[in-house]
A and B are shown apart, each in its own frame.
Chain A
C-alpha cells in the first residue's frame, strides 16, 4: 500500500518529486546547463543556460505538485512553452531531426534521476521505485511537450505561409488606361481562385477597367475545375462591364483542353500576354505608333 504509507509519511510520489525538484533546483539546473539541449542553444553564457534550465525545473515542480505528471496541457508547462519552442526551433534550424531533439530532451533525465536516487538512499526500495517512476513519467511528458511545441510551431509556420501565398500570388497590374492584368501562378484551387476573382473585380472597379487579362502562363495544369474557375471569373467580370481575355495558353495546355472536351468558345483567348494587350488596345481604339513613319514596327 504505497499510497497510504506515503500519505502518512512523506506524501505521494508526485509530492516527493515536486519537493525534490524545488530542493535540488540549483543542482539540477547546473547539471542541465551542461547538457547539449541547453548548452548548444544558449551559447552566449553559461548563466543564461542555467537560468533557462531553472525555469524548466520550476515548471516541472509545478506540474508535479498538481499531480498531472501525464498531462502535456498541465498549467505548469505554459510558462516554459515559449522558451521550449525557441529551443526546439533553434535545434531544427541547426538541422536536427525530431528524433534527435527528442534524444536531447531524454538526455536531461539521467542527471535528475541520479540526484533523486542519491537523495532517497535511506528510503525503502518500493518508495525509491515509485518516485523514480514518477520522475521518469514527468520527464517523458516534458519530452512530449517539446515535440508538441515544435510541431505546432511548424504547423503555424505552414499556415502563415499559405496565407502569404494567397496574397502574394495575385497582384493585379494596370497595363494601360482601362486594361488590367492578373498573372496567375501555380495551383488554382478553390481558395486561390476566390482570391483572384475578388482582387480582379475590385481592380476593375478601381481602375475603371474595360479589359481584364488573365494570364495563365504560370499555371502548370488546366483541368476542368481550373477551367470552371476561369469561366466563372470571366462571367463575373463581364457582369461588371469588363471583357476578359485569357492569355498564356501554351501548346501542350491547348491540346489538353481540346482532349478534355472543354469548351472555352465563350472566352476570348490569346497565346501570349503581348497578344492579349494588343487585342485590348485595338478594341479600345488605341494604336501603337512608332517614333517615325518608317520606324521599326511592333511585331
Chain B
C-alpha cells in the first residue's frame, strides 16, 4: 500500500546540484507510489526538464511534490515555481524547437508529452508555475482521452 511518507516535499532549485536532488527525490517518490520503471523514468525526465527551466529561465525557485488520488488511482503531482520574468508567449514557449536559452527547445513541450496532466501559469514580471501530474498506473478513466 503506497504511503505519502517521503512524497510530500518542497525542494529548493538554485543550482545544478539541486537538480540532482530533485531527480532523486522524484524517482524515489514515484517508486514509493508504485510507478513502473517506464513511468518513473518519464516523470523523472520531465521533472529534470522543468527544474532546469526553473533554474535557467526563472533564476531559481522550488519544487513542491505531493501525492494525489482520484478514485483508486494514485499519482504524483509536482509543481515547479519561480519568481522570474515569466513567459510572454505560452504557445511559442511550448513549441518544439523554440528556445531562448541555447538549449534544444524540447524541454517544455517534451515534458508535457511525458506526463499525464500538465498546466502552465505564467505572468510576465511575476513568475511561472508549471504543475504536472502523473498516475502510477493508467490515468483515471474519466480523463482518458486519446
Which residues from chain A sit less than 8 Å from chain B, CB to CB? 187, 189-191, 220-225, 227-228, 251-253, 255-256, 259-262
Contacts and interface: CB of A to CB of B under 8 A. Distances in A.
Given A251-B38, A252-B41, A256-B41, A221 B110 contact: no
Closest 10 CB pairs of A and B: A260-B110, A252-B41, A223-B48, A224-B106, A252-B38, A224-B104, A259-B113, A256-B45, A252-B37, A223-B45
Contacts of B103: 224-225, 228
Q: Is the interface of A mostly helix, strand, loop or mixed?
A: helix
Contacts of A260: 45, 49, 106, 110-111, 113-114
B29 interface: no
B40 to A, nearest CB: 7
Interface of B: 16, 19-20, 23, 27, 37-38, 40-42, 44-45, 48-49, 52, 96, 103-104, 106-107, 109-111, 113-114
A97 B75 CA distance: 37
A220 B49 contact: no
Nearest to A260: B110
A222 B23 CA distance: 11
Contacts of A227: 104
Contact of B114 (A220, A225, A251, A256): A256
Given A187-B19, A225-B52, A256-B45, 15 more contacts: A189-B16, A220-B27, A221-B44, A225-B103, A227-B104, A251-B38, A252-B38, A259-B42, A259-B114, A260-B49, A260-B110, A260-B113, A260-B114, A261-B110, A262-B106
